[in-house]
């Protein structure tokens, strides 16, 4: 699947969802707008970059990744709620640096954003493969060290070689 078909499929899907119905006028108007948009932005790497990310094999892994992320977000949100609602706020903010083994820029971004999404940890800077993470408690940092999220992303990268 080349990038142009992927981008146009995504954008036409987006257009159909926004217009709430599917008939000829909507499709023609959508295709016209998409071709104009592609002419304007096609040269910039708006979509995903050069890496071929969407393999059928890794789709299942992305689903697994999303499911795990949702579970971690809920668990960690409850932990932060416990801290905030406690009679005395007991936190020990720490900065840790973590070297990730991920290679593609896309996966690094996904991983850093997932860390920020899970409460208690906040990616403060991402330079090359070194993440600086601010943790509300020291133990949250240790949880990142052996997180399953990175392992799933590493598996996806294995497929792509």
Q: Which residues bind to another protein, rule: CB under 8 A?
A: 14, 17-18, 20-21, 73-74, 76-77, 80-81, 83-85, 89, 91, 93, 112-114, 116-120, 122-125, 132, 134, 136
Cβ closer to another protein: 1 or 10?
A: 10
CA distance 59 to 62: 5
* Residue placing its CB nearer to another protein in the complex, 17 or 24: 17
- How far, rounded to the nearest angstrom, does the alpha carbon of residue 61 sit from its chain's CA centroid? 13
CB of 143 to another protein, least distance (A): 15
Nearest residue (CB) to another protein, 4 versus 81: 81
Q: How far is the CB of 46 from another protein (least distance, A)?
A: 14
Residue 119: CB minimum distance to another protein, A? 3
Which residues, in sequence order, are CB contacts of 74 under 8 Å at separation 6+? none
Tell the smallest beta-carbon distance from residue 84 to another protein (Å).
4
Q: Which residues contact 144 (CB under 8 A, 6 or more apart)?
A: 96, 98, 115, 121, 133, 135
Say if residue 115 is exposed, middle or buried (CB neighbours under 10 Å; 0-12, 13-18, 19+). buried
């Amino acid at each position: 699947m080349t990038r142009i078909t992927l981008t146009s499929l995504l954008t036409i899907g987006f257009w159909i969802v926004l217009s709430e119905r599917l008939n000829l006028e909507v499709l023609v108007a959508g295709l016209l707008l998409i071709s104009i948009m592609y002419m304007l932005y096609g040269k910039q790497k708006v979509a995903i970059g050069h890496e071929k990310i969407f393999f059928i094999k890794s789709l299942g892994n992305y689903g697994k990744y999303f499911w795990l992320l949702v579970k971690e977000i809920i668990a960690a949100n409850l932990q932060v709620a416990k801290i905030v609602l406690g009679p005395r706020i007991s936190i020990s903010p720490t900065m840790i640096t973590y070297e990730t083994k991920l290679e593609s820029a896309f996966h690094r971004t996904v991983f850093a954003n997932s860390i920020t999404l899970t409460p208690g940890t906040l990616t403060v800077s991402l330079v090359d493969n070194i993440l600086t993470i601010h943790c509300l408690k020291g133990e949250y940092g240790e949880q990142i060290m052996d997180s399953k999220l990175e392992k799933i992303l590493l598996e996806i990268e294995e497929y792509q070689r």
